[in-house]
Amino acid sequence: MTISRRTALQVGGIGAIGAAALTVPLTQAQASTPSTLALRNFPKRFAVPLPIPPVLAPKPSPDGQTSTYYEVTETAGSAAIVPGLNTPILGYNGIFPGPTISVNKGEPIRLKVRNRLPLFHPSWGHVLDTSTHLHGSASLPQYDGYANDLTAKDQSKTYHYPNFQPARTLWYHDHAVHNTAQNAYSGLAAQYHLHDDDERRLLPQGKFDVPLTVTDAMFSANGKLSYDDKTQSGLWGDVILVNGAPWPVMRVQRRIYRFRVLNASISRSYRFALSGGGPVTVVATDGGLMPVAQTVTSWRHAGAERYEILIDFSKYAAGTRVELRNLSNKNNIDFDYTGKVMAFDVTADPVDTSGPAATVMPTTLVPSTAMSLKASDAVKTRHFRLKRDLNIWTIDGMTWEDVVDSEYQKVLADPDYNAVEIWSFENSSGGWYHPLHIHLVDFQILSRNGRAPFPYEKGPKDVVYVGEGETVRLLMKFEHHKGRYMVHCHNLPHEDHDMMAQFSVGYDAGDYDANDPVYADPAKYD
Ligand code: C2O
Ligand code: CU
Ligand code: CU
């Protein structure tokens, strides 16, 4: 569905109301668009430079433990997003996106998260208990941001992140039970980069390695974020932000750049493409490098998916503006400017060709455990239906409430430790898509409706787009840790109501679990 501001103006009544009334509607964005900002406060396209979030510096370890130590504080903050107004946000260190954490493979870290948020959300009133999930990390269950492992106001929790996996783009975001959507939407989200030798050898680094966190938002007339999830179906804003800035523009040299594209929108999915239809080379998926780079002209990108892409700007003349656009997908709500994301201005600046992949696209990359698995390795196949039952979203009939009611014991599946299994997820609805996320594992997409996955999906994944009428088959190994982990839809209003379940690796019902996700290492007052 496309709702055009121009169409709404015509229908809503230039003729009917008459010219005298025009001064009133023209001062505001149309009611048919979700933002109610005055036009002078509605952001212009390509008017602000792309901001790059700061990289978090480690701190001295408070207790002599050797692993690198970081701290972030969740606080209310204020952001300059729409011209002329301040937008109250919640952020890690008060900013959105939060600070990027950049680490090396083999370097375990601890991250202390301090909750200094207001007790109640200033706009929506819920209690601001939080749980921090590092999405893309095989963390122990008690450090995985389990939805009910909550950190209350004035408490803190020190998370342990192992960083033994291959290089990848991860992100940390709030995962508080029933409030993940509003908390992440308010700003509790940030990228986390895990580097290794393969990626340093093959892909652009430093200022040519650029995070792009894409979100959408809607604003009230006073600049505050507004929230409308259409009866828990999803939120589709009319303003597109990249790294927290509306439709920004980035100046680029005529060489290859690497972009870490994270869709941190709580519901919206995108179909990204460049203006002019130019090629984009996908080199990494959620779980890191693909075996072979894939060149595409557009790709479908749901919430929480990460695609690392390379764009060769030497193919464009200096002075060219290349837009990153959104061709959209079924069951999104589009507005006048949601087809635009950001722009790259190709400059005549001297070209720095130092470092890997500055001028030549890499082709063969590296294998990974997930992509080396064979379907014949699987010892079990399980099938799960994603659907709406009586106004509640469910995974094979299970909700998170069922898990809570069972004292966190009820599970959707109980694979053996190190078992390889095939999990298939079926969405037989034509009315919605579900970005399905499985914690702990990296999986390989075997098929979608019996066909090969899209070329850009041929890498290790932890979120899969389960589109309308689609069934996906996923192959994965339940390695690294035993314990209980969440599996859920990453359309966050779906997740919160109540499309989330859990699975247990390596335990039988009643076994003692030293890594209990709620009780093993709870938050403390500090
Ligand atoms: Cu990105 Cu369970 O979440
Ligand atoms: Cu996750
Ligand atoms: Cu969903």
Q: Relative to the CA of 500, which ligand 1 atom is closest?
A: 2
CA distances from 285 to 16, 98, 110, 184, 301 (A): 52, 22, 25, 22, 11
What percentage of the chain has pLDDT greater than the value 90? 91
Tell me if 301 CB under 6 Å of ligand 1.
no
Higher-scoring residue by pLDDT: 6, 93: 93
Instruction: In whole angstroms, give the CA distance from residue 311 to residue 273.
Output: 11
Q: What pLDDT does 338 receive? A: 97
Tell me if 488 CB under 6 Å of ligand 1.
yes
**Ligand in nearest proximity to the CA of 491:** 3
Reported as a pLDDT band with limits 50, 70 and 90, residue 29 is very low
The C-alpha torsion from 385 through 433 and 31 to 47, rounded to 10°, is 150
The answer on pLDDT for 118 being more than 50 is yes
Q: What pLDDT does 7 receive? A: 35
What percentage of the chain has pLDDT greater than the value 70? 94
Instruction: In whole angstroms, give the CA distance from residue 470 to residue 443.
Output: 18
At 214-263, the pLDDT tens digits run 999 999 999 999 999 999 999 999 999 999 999 999 999 999 999 999 99
The answer on pLDDT for 9 being more than 50 is no
The answer on pLDDT for 174 being more than 50 is yes
The answer on pLDDT for 25 being more than 50 is no
The mean pLDDT of 494-513, rounded to a whole number, is 94
The answer on pLDDT for 16 being more than 50 is no
Q: DSSP characters for 197-253?
A: HHHHHHS--GGGEEEEEEEEEEE-TTS-EE---TTTT----SEEEETTEES-EEEE-
Residue nearest to atom 1 of ligand 1 (CA): 135
Q: 66: which residues sit within 8 A by CB, 6+ positions away? A: none
Q: In which region does residue 404 sit, left (phi positive, over 0), alpha (psi from -120 to 50) or beta (all else)?
A: alpha
Instruction: In whole angstroms, give the CA distance from residue 12 to residue 4.
Output: 12
The answer on pLDDT for 13 being more than 60 is no
Tell me if 494 CB under 6 Å of ligand 1.
no
Reported as a pLDDT band with limits 50, 70 and 90, residue 66 is confident
Residues with CB under 5 A from ligand 2 (ion): 135, 439
Q: Relative to the CA of 439, which ligand 1 atom is closest?
A: 2
At 362-376, the pLDDT tens digits run 999 999 999 999 999
Length of the chain: 526
The mean pLDDT of 49-54, rounded to a whole number, is 98
Q: Which 8-state DSSP code applies to residue 138?
A: -
Sign of CA dihedral 303, 308, 309, 314: positive
Average of per-residue pLDDT values in the chain: 94
What SS3 class is residue 321? strand
The answer on pLDDT for 11 being more than 70 is no
At 383-438, the pLDDT tens digits run 999 999 888 999 999 999 999 999 999 999 999 999 999 999 999 999 999 999 99
The count of other CB atoms within 10 Å of the CB of residue 119 is 10
The count of other CB atoms within 10 Å of the CB of residue 378 is 19
Q: What pLDDT does 510 receive? A: 82
The C-alpha torsion from 450 through 456 and 458 to 460, rounded to 10°, is -120
The answer on pLDDT for 5 being more than 50 is no
CA angle, 109 then 215 then 280, to 5°: 85
Tell me if 135 CB under 6 Å of ligand 1.
yes
Find the range with the poorest average confidence among 25-34, 201-210, 236-245, 501-510.
25-34
